[in-house]
Amino acid sequence: MRTGTNHRGLIVGIVALAAAASCHVPATAQESGVKPESAAVKPDAGAKAIYYVDFRARTAATYGHAFVWFGRMDRKQVEVAGLHPASESPIPYIIGQIFPVPSETGKSYGDLDEAYLTGSYRVVMTEAQAKPVFAYIKHLQESSPLWNATVYNCVSFIQDIARYMGLKVPNEHVIMPDEWVNKLRRLNGGRENQVVALSTILARSGSKPAEPMTAAASKPAESTTAAAPKPAAPRTAAPKPAGPKTSETPADRMAAVY
């Protein structure tokens, strides 16, 4: 009798999550033509720190998403890395609240649209600093096959990138993406819409970036941004999600991220 009750409780919980997630259509890639330099001030033309990683957060129909842009400040091309379930169906998101589900680590719908942006912290680097960082991002994309809402989610993914770069991190990943990005900025002495050099951050904090990856795993920074990858064709026609709310209280947002 107890077993039957437990099973019914689990089914009711999954159905409730399905209802909450049904309004969110996770996405295939979207190109909006937004330039990577639009979110922050460009460095001087002669500056050497022209590579960047931008830690970003955006809204979604239910809850937010955390991801990074990376590339060169003097180029229009931008690469996106972020962890999310590998499906357009809400079912993996529901299952992923309990069990790990297969993931994707590239663009998702809305990642290139400034209208959805809720947080951004951009760190610029020299070519020598960028090479191991970009190689690590690629490595993380290739070695992150699973997503889980509480064990390893989108915030966990970009948190690993920040740690590798030597940044101070909030050390929590089950929070709203914009809250995490804003905490990252405050911990490292940045101001909103400010471009900060990695060398300045490390000198201020006394931190050191992680050891570079092996030569076999590393790729030159040039090769990561020379040509922007084409977005994958959508598997099904999906409507564009509703724009971000003008005001949104914590009660309006689910305590989960993807």
Mean residue pLDDT of the chain comes to 73
**For helices 154-165 and 177-187, angle between their N-to-C axes, nearest 10 degrees:** 10
The predicted structure's pLDDT at residue 235: 42
* Structural domain contains residue 16: no
* Structural domain contains residue 124: yes
Answer whether residue 213 shows pLDDT above 90.
no
Number of domains observed in the structure of the chain: 1
* Structural domain contains residue 6: no
| Residue that has been written with the tokens 């180029």 in this structure | 75
Inter-residue contact 118 to 244 (CB < 8 Å): yes
Give the distance from CA 5 to its chain's centroid: 39
The predicted structure's pLDDT at residue 127: 94
Residue 26: band (very low, low, confident or very high) from pLDDT cuts 50, 70, 90: very low
* Structural domain contains residue 3: no
Average pLDDT over residues 95-105: 94
Residue 48: band (very low, low, confident or very high) from pLDDT cuts 50, 70, 90: confident
Inter-residue contact 42 to 124 (CB < 8 Å): no
* Structural domain contains residue 240: no
Around 59, how many Cα atoms within 13 Å sit in the side-chain half-sphere?
20
* Structural domain contains residue 30: yes
Average pLDDT over residues 17-37: 38
Give the distance from CA 116 to its chain's centroid: 13
The predicted structure's pLDDT at residue 161: 98
Range of the domain at 176: 26-228
* Structural domain contains residue 33: yes
3-state SS, one letter per residue, for the chain:
CHHHHHHHHHHHHHHHHHHHHCCCCCCCCCCCCCCHHHHCCCCCCCCCCCEEEEEEEECCCCCCEEEEEEEECCCCCCEEECCEECCCCCHHHHHCCCCCEEEECCCCCCCCCHHHEEEEEEEEECHHHHHHHHHHHHHHHHCCCEEECCCECHHHHHHHHHHHHCCCCCCCCCCCHHHHHHHHHHHCCCCCCCEEEHHHHHHHHCCCCCCCCCCCCCCCHHHHHCCCCCCCCCCCCCCCCCCCCCCCCHHHCCCCCC
Inter-residue contact 20 to 14 (CB < 8 Å): no
The predicted structure's pLDDT at residue 234: 41
The predicted structure's pLDDT at residue 60: 75
Answer whether residue 228 shows pLDDT above 60.
no
pLDDT in tens, 174-199: 999 999 999 999 999 877 767 888 98
Residues 6+ apart with CB under 8 A from 117: 39, 56, 57, 58
* Structural domain contains residue 57: yes
Average pLDDT over residues 82-109: 92
pLDDT in tens, 4-20: 444 444 433 443 343 33
pLDDT in tens, 122-159: 999 999 999 999 999 999 999 999 999 999 999 999 99
Over its C-alpha atoms, the chain yields an Rg (Å, rounded) of 19
pLDDT in tens, 198-209: 988 888 877 666
